[in-house]
Amino acid sequence: MSKTPDSGKAEDDEPSTVEQYLVKDPERFALNMARMIEQAGKAASAWAEPREKGDVRDHVAEPVVDMVKTFSKLSEYWLSDPQRALEAQTRLFSGYMTVWANAIQRTSNATEATEDAVKPERGDKRFLDPEWGRNAFFDFLKQAYLVTSRWAADLVEHADGLDEHTRHKAGFYVKQVANAISPSNFILTNPELFRETVASNGENLVRGMKMLAEDIAAGKGDLKLRQADYSPFEIGRNIATTPGKVVGRSDVAEIIQYDPATETVLKRPLLICPPWINKFYILDLNPQKSFIRWAIEQGHTVFVISWINPDERHGTKGWEAYIREGLQYGLDTVEKATGERDVNAIGYCVGGTLLAAALALMAREGDDRIKSATFFTTQVDFTYAGDLKVFVDEEQVAAVEKSMSEKGYLDGTKMATAFNMLRSGDLIWPYVINNYMRGKDPLPFDLLYWNADSTRMGAANHSFYLRNCYLENNLSQGMMELAGHTVSLGDITIPIYNLASKEDHIAPALSVFLGSKYFGGKVEYVMAGSGHIAGVVNPPASNKYQYWTGGTPTGDFGQWIARATDHPGSWWPHWQSWIEARDNTRVPARKPGKHMKTLGDAPGTYVKVRV
């Protein structure tokens, strides 16, 4: 297939034919439509039944109201000035006229290539089917959609009268609406879906509605979007398989100690504090990707906190409880298991934010057991906190708190949906199309298995996090109160390894960079390639991505990047060298259970509790 360099349209493709969109067996097609309606009824029943029983209460109104309020502020800016409104309308009308002119030209002279009014962004996989370019109808739909969505995004970008938070929300909501109304999401406006439906006489829709009913039932009344085939995976069998023992258990955490892989180990044990928003085994997906296994092979005695999947019993446990019964309990357990007080610690995402707050509190209380801290994609300052900040203002936080007060926790599906919405073009709509319209089972994928293994959020814990970090930014401002102390990051004087990832949409690299200045000691800022997960879980053997180092993280972030050194591959060996530069003393390897009773094999029991 050859393409013109300018238009991107196929020159040598066979012309689009009407026959491929005509039903060949009307009787069978009609029968399948009836079967589809039957399955759709089951989906509706799976949605309605838990609501009729009172097991599910919808809170859809709150985000919809917030979106309407946000769009109202955007409209007010553009409509308050007639000249401004006219210019905006003219730009949209001009785009439509170009699309219309292209359509007329193509209809009258099908052999002549025309320039699209607007092209899809690089990497947009929605319009790869050749029919989007060679069929006049689908080409018109595609261009009209792209013109409209690009125009709406420009309205947000050029709305100078909006405050930054409203602009951020408006841009996010425009993107969600644009992704939702894409012609690629509907049978009759997506040529590939249209052809598949006709070719199978609608059997794809029967299978899709059956899967939809199953996924709503699995979500107990809410859609639990199936992103992979989860059946091949089992925690402890082919996920989270690094051998070890549970050596401690509190109300909120199990402490896992892993078996050594070397004859000697670093004297300082390593305690990892993962996020409780997801489960710890993102760092131990499989032997090839496991940071935990790799760290053991480098000579670390690795301990990991495996957080409880909270229920009603944990609704009143806030950050102090997670510090006392999680982090400090972990330190106590490390000392009992190894006899060592001095520890290296790692915190990942919100687990890193908790670690930073704990270090500030421990500095006030004279607890100096942690001698170095590493933060993976961790925010301590939330001024530029990424797209999750869209969900955080006083009204929305109050609504979440009201919802949590009913059960003592936030359902895991709610948090999972919020994270998926941050990348809805990758994590929602492709699966909606594949599962419920094409009727195809998704493929097995361990990363998406982990992504779907969502956890509940305890009410007190989650409320403290939203208010003190996202809403009020108390941690970096030295105003967070814990255990009767007002804590300050400036009291943390131990060495810090602060890892960001370049394309992170949860903890943006800029946010991590700016947070570095609040610590009281020396900070090694490193920026990895890729995003929040792939940038962290990047084993050296994969030889993927890169990382940047550039000295003290001060001044302008853009200038830091400009003068930074680009290193190919994984940042893991760089971190190992940094750790050993602090203290590389070695001692004989330590086996779990030598000095204390064990409570079972890794990965423990808490991690297996599902929503």
Predicted pLDDT at 62? 64
The residue annotated as part of the active site, out of 155, 206, 295, 349, is 349
Quick one: 580 exposed, middle or buried, by C-beta within 10 A (0-12, 13-18, 19+)?
middle
In terms of DSSP H, where are the helices of 374-529? 394-407, 412-422, 424-427, 429-432, 446-452, 459-465, 509-515
Phi, psi of 72 (to 5 degrees): -65, -40
Tokens representing 72?
């109202």
Tokens representing 226?
């199936």
pTM: 0.90
Predicted pLDDT at 1? 32
Give me the residues of the chain with pLDDT under 70, please. Answer: 1-16, 58-62, 109-114
In terms of DSSP H, where are the helices of 288-411? 291-297, 319-322, 329-338, 350-365, 394-407
Asked: is 244-608 a CATH 3.40.50.300 domain? The reply is: no
Name the residue among 455, 542, 453 with its Cα closest to residue 233: 453
Predicted pLDDT at 128? 93
User: Token match 């309407």: residue?
Assistant: 68
User: Where are any strands of DSSP class E within 84-136?
Assistant: none
Mean pLDDT, the chain, integer: 92
| 349 annotated active-site | yes
Predicted pLDDT at 113? 63
Give the whole-angstrom CA distance, residue 384 versus residue 514.
9
User: Token match 């594949």: residue?
Assistant: 434
Tokens representing 588?
């004989």
Give the DSSP letter of residue 16. Answer: P
User: Is it true that the peptide bond before 603 is cis, omega within 30 degrees of 0?
Assistant: yes
Q: What is the pLDDT of residues 500-547, one digit of tens each?
A: 999 999 999 999 999 999 999 999 999 999 999 999 999 999 999 999
Predicted pLDDT at 4? 35
Q: Between 394-407 and 61-79, two packed helices, what is the crossing angle to 10 degrees?
A: 170
Would you list the domain boundaries of the chain?
Answer: 21-219, 244-608
Q: What is the pLDDT of residues 350-390, one digit of tens each?
A: 999 999 999 999 999 999 999 999 999 999 999 999 888 88
Predicted pLDDT at 3? 37
Predicted pLDDT at 421? 86
**Residues 575-584: contacts with CB within 8 Å, 24+ apart?**
575/374, 575/497, 575/499, 575/526, 576/298, 578/497, 578/524, 579/266, 579/344, 579/372, 579/374, 579/497, 580/266, 582/344, 582/371, 582/372, 582/495, 583/266, 583/267, 583/268, 583/342, 583/371, 584/266
Predicted pLDDT at 89? 92
Give the whole-angstrom CA distance, residue 44 versus residue 426.
26
Q: Between 136-157 and 82-108, two packed helices, what is the crossing angle to 10 degrees?
A: 160
Name the residue among 329, 348, 322 with its Cα closest to residue 249: 329
Given CA atoms 96, 100, 101, 102 in this order, what sign does their dihedral have? Answer: positive
Q: Could you tell me which residues come within 8 angstroms of residue 448 by beta carbon, excluding any fewer than 6 positions away?
A: 227, 228, 442
